[in-house]
């Protein structure tokens, strides 16, 4: 049976329109405001070859600080790969002049995340790596040490993207793109230093790791939960922790302070040269 020409024309026109809308990437446009959890949308689809790309240049490693968080009390922590890879020494800050020396650094070869091991760890946080629960517009709370000081941000889930890293190492990975909604403590400028910090859902579970930002676009990028689960599986690490207290846009500042005071969320320091840091313990 011959397909009518008009059906073929409609199919071709439909395909062209679909492609045009896919290629019309609104990456430079501010996403529409969503006031809160009442605006949560449908389930986020799986990663796709059609996901937009974001390029990140990874410069040479330098001494500096980032954020890490404990995932069990035997001494396992998670952070960002670019914070700790290629460092001479790595430590977790546990006091004003003390650091717990990291004995093992296991960077993921496929994502901007890494496992750290100290002799022991304080309060550990619960992970939720089930991606089938992620929904457009859901809120997230980013906790850490932006600009080397205490700070946090709130965002909503915008879409999936593919992060392409070039420079000190080359890598491509699926990430979650979040539209920043606000910050606490009068924090302005870059969120540098928050890299490696946990990303909480409203129930207090860790659902990601902050790894990059785009200030111009108002975006925060986090490691995919599936990437975290993959690294834990390869390292044969079973996280054992408790959810943080539930977070809201009204209380996430004080709740973040509690997490830092308990050292569940701590600063991680990278020593790229011969400088020593004072060794201590949690």
Kindly report the length of the chain. 282
The full DSSP string for 139-156 is EEEEEE-GGGS-EEEEEE
> What average pLDDT does the segment 57-71 reach?
89
The pLDDT mean for the chain works out to 83
β-bridge pairing 219-223 and 265-271:
unpaired
Q: Kindly report, residue by residue over 9-56, the tens digit of the pLDDT.
A: 333 333 332 332 233 333 333 344 444 445 689 999 999 999 999 888
| Cβ–Cβ < 8 Å for 231, 217 | no
Q: Kindly report, residue by residue over 85-123, the tens digit of the pLDDT.
A: 889 999 999 876 667 889 999 999 999 999 999 998 888
d(CA 254, CA 165): 34
Predicted structure pTM score: 0.83
Domains within the chain, CATH numbers bracketed? 52-282 (2.40.10.120)
Tokens matching residue 139? 């809120």
Q: Kindly report, residue by residue over 122-134, the tens digit of the pLDDT.
A: 889 999 999 998 9
d(CA 118, CA 282): 9
Backbone φ and ψ for 278, nearest 5 degrees, come out as -75, 130
Residues with Cβ within 8 Å of residue 278, at least 6 apart in sequence: 97, 98, 99
């Amino acid at each position: 049976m011959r397909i009518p020409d008009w059906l073929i024309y409609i199919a071709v026109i439909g395909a062209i329109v679909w492609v045009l809308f896919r290629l019309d990437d609104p990456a430079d446009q501010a996403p529409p405001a969503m006031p809160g959890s009442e605006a949560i949308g449908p389930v986020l689809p799986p990663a796709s070859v059609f996901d937009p790309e974001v390029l990140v240049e990874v410069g040479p490693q330098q001494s500096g600080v980032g954020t890490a968080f404990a995932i069990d009390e035997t001494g396992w922590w998670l952070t960002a790969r670019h914070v700790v890879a290629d460092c001479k020494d790595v430590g977790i800050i546990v006091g004003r002049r003390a650091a717990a020396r990291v004995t093992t650094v296991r960077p993921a070869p496929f994502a901007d995340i890494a496992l750290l091991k100290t002799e022991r760890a304080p309060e550990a946080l619960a992970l939720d790596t089930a991606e089938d629960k992620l929904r457009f517009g859901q809120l997230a709370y980013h906790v850490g040490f932006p600009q080397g000081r205490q700070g946090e941000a709130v965002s909503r889930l915008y879409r999936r993207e593919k992060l392409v890293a070039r420079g000190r190492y080359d890598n491509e990975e699926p990430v979650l793109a979040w539209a920043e909604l606000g910050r606490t403590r009068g924090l302005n400028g870059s969120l540098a230093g928050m890299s490696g910090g946990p990303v909480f859902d409203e129930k207090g579970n860790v659902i990601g790791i902050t790894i990059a930002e785009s200030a111009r676009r108002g975006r925060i990028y986090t490691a995919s939960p599936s990437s975290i689960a993959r690294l834990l599986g390869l390292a044969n690490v079973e996280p054992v922790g408790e959810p943080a207290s539930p977070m809201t846009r009204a209380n996430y500042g004080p709740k973040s302070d509690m997490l830092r005071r308990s050292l569940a969320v701590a600063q991680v320091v990278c020593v790229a040269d011969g400088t020593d840091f004072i060794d201590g313990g949690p």
